[in-house]
Amino acid sequence: MTAKQTTVAVLGLGAMGSAAAATLARRGCKVIGFEQFWRAHNQGSSHGDTRAIRKAYVREEQYAPLVLESYDLWMRLERDTGAELLREIGGLVVTPSNGQTLKRSIATATKYGIPHEVLEPSEVTRRWPTMHPPVGTSTFYERTQSIMPPEKTVETHIELAVRHGADLHFNTPVSSWTHSQRGVELKVGDQIIVADKLVIAGGAWSEGLFADLLPVKCERLFQVWVKPDIDAAVFSVKHHPRWVLESSEGRTAYAFPILEGQDSIKMAFTAGTASDTENLERQALPGEVETLVGFMSDLVPSIRGKGATQVAACFSGKAKDDNFIIGPHPRCGNVIVASGFGSHGFKFVPVIGEILADLALNGTTNRDISLFDPSRFVRQA
């Protein structure tokens, strides 16, 4: 790809913004980026040690090809930077036997030739004695399920962007943006920065950046680390898979095995609660830890006793339909929107970096992103 003289500004250098900045800079684009907090911070969506990726994706069909491409791009990022990011540990999804999650997991795995097994409760307990799936459940086991470290991923993309000449500014909030005949103008402190294109990747703070045009809200998701009642080594990431439990009422929580140097299992519910960026609640709410541990201990009884060793709230931008919002701004074609990644965007980080770079530099991408079109909301309005 030949070098372009276009200046692209990136607003927000979290997971998606740092990936966009790195990809753009690597393609020879002049990049300037702004982040309101410090490098790879723990204030938004991208912290808490671990994120998961699985190939047998159960959402709308547009996601699965992007997940598969992401696996390759995660590995390319490792090769390019020397950072170890993707770690295959296997994953279990324990769901009602007659539920949609199991059917869809099997359908995606079959369609794309993804190795998988469907296990009865007794077989799960035989292989992993910590796990006691309830009667009436089946367990979908995918050995290629993997985990990534969110903070290190953001840092890796920041380093890559800087290595390719990006001019990145931390602790530097953008207070507003407008488009004019000169391009896109960003107000940063008492300066006006002019760029040809702007990528907005503001995560939980997205709503305020789109002047109510796009229905994306801040959502709070709560992570809890729990020390098991038994020897922690039993849950070591070296030999214990990640797991997800979906109840017959449709409530879902997930857990990560214990990382090296740690003594606790991290767990969370997949669904969050509406939050307000002016008033972010970072501590545990009354009963919050107990509800999560109670839910998960139906499957893994040996986490019942010791309570939380650590908690961390995350804040994410979630679209009204819980699908990503990626594409040109409906009213301003030289602004690219990257928002609404909710609780399922991290696995796509490298492919979204590619898509955002394609859109900023070429105005189009060869991936199918029709589901994510920002105009879908404007058409509905």
Ligand X SMILES: Cc1cc2nc3c(=O)[nH]c(=O)nc-3n(C[C@H](O)[C@H](O)[C@H](O)COP(=O)(O)OP(=O)(O)OC[C@H]3O[C@@H](n4cnc5c(N)ncnc54)[C@H](O)[C@@H]3O)c2cc1C
Residues 203-236 as b/e (b if ≥16 CB within 10 A, e otherwise) read bbbbbebbeebbbbbbbbbbbbbbbbeeeeeebe
Task: Identify the residue whose tokens are 């990534």.
Answer: 148
Minimum CB separation of residue 349 from ligand X in Å reads: 7
Report in angstroms how near the CB of residue 136 gets to ligand X at its nearest: 26
| Least distance CB 297 / ligand X (angstroms) | 20
Q: Residues in the site for ligand X, rule: CB under 6 A? A: 11-17, 34-37, 44-46, 48, 51-52, 173-174, 201-205, 221, 223, 268, 314, 316-317, 341-347
Cβ distance to ligand X smaller for residue 52 or 232 = 52
Of 10 and 109, nearer to ligand X (C-beta) is 10
Q: Name which of 235 and 254 has its Cβ closer to ligand X.
A: 254
CA angle 148, 200, 318 (to 5 degrees): 60
- What is the closest distance, in whole angstroms, from the C-beta atom of residue 126 to ligand X in the complex? 27
What's the length of the chain?
A: 381
How many Cβ atoms from other residues are within 10 Å of residue 332's Cβ? 15
Residue whose CB is nearest to ligand X in the complex, by number? 14
Rounded Cα distance between 303 and 316, Å, is 27
Q: Report which of 161, 139, 157, 135 is spatially closest to residue 148, judged by C-alpha positions.
A: 157
Tokens of 338: 């990257």
Q: How far is the CB of 13 from ligand X (least distance, A)?
A: 6
Q: Which residues of 251-266 are buried (b: 16+ CB within 10 A; e: fewer)?
A: ebbbbbbbbeebebbb
Q: Which is nearer to ligand X, 16 or 336 (CB)?
A: 16
Q: For ligand X, give the closer residue by CB, 71 or 121.
A: 71
Nearer to ligand X, 227 or 347 (CB): 347
CB of 381 to ligand X, least distance (A): 23
Find how far residue 235's CA is from the centre of its chain. 24
Q: Please name which of 378, 326, 332 lies closest in space to residue 352, comparing C-alpha atoms.
A: 326
Nearer to ligand X, 121 or 289 (CB): 289
CB of 110 to ligand X, least distance (A): 22
Nearer to ligand X, 30 or 157 (CB): 157
Q: Which one-letter DSSP state was computed for residue 303?
A: G
Q: Smallest distance, Å, CB 210 to ligand X?
A: 11
Which residue stretches of the chain are H helix?
15-26, 63-81, 100-112, 121-127, 150-163, 206-209, 288-297, 349-362, 375-380
